Amino acid sequence: MNSTPTLSLGPATTDRSARLRAALARRTEWRGLALLAVVVVATLSFEPLVFTAYPVTLGRVALIGLVALGLTAVILMGELDLSVASTLAVAGVVMASIPNVALGIVVALCAGLLIGLVNAFFVVKVGINSFIATLGMLFVLRGLAFVLSGEKPVRMADIEAGIAFGAPIIGPITPRVLIFVLVFIGLQIFVTKVRAGREFYAVGGNRQAARDAGIPVSRRLVTGFMLSGFVAALAGVINTMERTAADPTAGSTVLLASIAAAIIGGVALTGGRGSIVGTLVGALSLGIIEVGLTLSGVQVDVQQIFIGGVLLLAVITDPASFRAVVGNARSFLSGRRGETPA
């Protein structure tokens, strides 16, 4: 090191605090964290029961957040998976139709992987925009769930297993929450530490550059869609286990809620920006808002108004929106200035 002082890039840029500041400025979760802080403070002062009854809150967060975590992997690559809610329904119906619980779970999860593969086929091989390909799959899979179930809820053969599944295992933690935490940790490690996962950001940030850098873009897309399908199927399995029955209309609100969680957490729909932690922050905020409002006796409809308002706030406080407003104002003012003398 001492022998090659000329190679050092100068103390200012390599300075530790500067690097830390740069790293913090790159984070995308700030707005989500600010919202979470506001939500936590507000609930602590108005409805502290949300935190004393934390198993309820965690259950709600896991319900909203699980599908959102898988979806985040796809959104990071600048794609969208609209079929997650229908995948959840199909997986639930498939699982409940198979008498053996273990076999049912395996087949349902494989169905999720297969659905992800089909989505990826249309996006990668045929070259359709993922928004439309998965919109088509939304309809196809919803139809499939209805056909497989005979248009009515399917009861699980082994109801005992379902009842056992709903019980807390570690302290007050239910298997649903535990699985949610495991999926979170797994995905977080995948997109930050594993090479294939880190390449998701490159694929979403600049696809051509990623391709030129030798990243197998198509294979990453396949991985992303399969992850999303798998996690959605997992959510379907959990739903079915907890309710001991599968409803073909299940998960109709899941799609919009999980997109909302990701966006509130700072994940950009254009791809390349965002994080799994952000989605967790988004799901936590939404879950705490919902449970807090429920415990305060606020109707579900009014809760929706809150969530919609929060989402609108999240999207219009995006830095890009600020720049657009400033640009608009500037051109507006300069236009005026040009007009007045004439």
Report the interface residues with another protein, using CB under 8 A: 80, 122, 126-129, 131-133, 135-148, 151, 248, 256, 259-260, 263, 269-270, 299-309, 311-312, 315-316, 318, 320-321, 324-325, 328
Minimum separation from the CB atom of position 229 to another protein (A): 16
- Residue 69 or 261 with smaller CB distance to another protein: 261
Q: Which is nearer to another protein, 143 or 172 (CB)?
A: 143
> In this complex, which beta carbon is closest to another protein, that of residue 134 or of residue 239?
134
CB-wise, 129 or 296, nearer to another protein?
A: 129
Is 142 or 176 the residue whose CB approaches another protein more closely? 142
Q: HEC states along the chain?
A: CCCCHHHCCCHHHHCHHHHHHHHHHHCCCHHHHHHHHHHHHHHHHHCCHHHHCHHHHHHHHHHHHHHHHHHHHHHHCCCCCCCHHHHHHHHHHHHHHCCCHHHHHHHHHHHHHHHHHHHHHHHHHHCCCHHHHHHHHHHHHHHHHHHHHCCCCEECCCHHHHHHHHCCCECCECHHHHHHHHHHHHHHHHHHHCHHHHHHHHHHHCHHHHHHCCCCHHHHHHHHHHHHHHHHHHHHHHHHHHHCEECCCCCCCHHHHHHHHHHHCCCCCCCCCCCHHHHHHHHHHHHHHHHHHHHCCCCHHHHHHHHHHHHHHHHHCCHHHHHHHHHHHHHHHHHHHHHCCC
The least distance separating another protein from the CB of residue 271, rounded to whole angstroms, comes to 12
Nearest residue (CB) to another protein, 213 versus 320: 320
- Give the nearest distance from C-beta 319 to another protein in angstroms: 11
Taking the complex as a whole, how short is the minimal distance between the CB of residue 248 and another protein, in angstroms? 8
Q: Which amino acid is at 87?
A: T
Is 210 or 314 the residue whose CB approaches another protein more closely?
Answer: 314
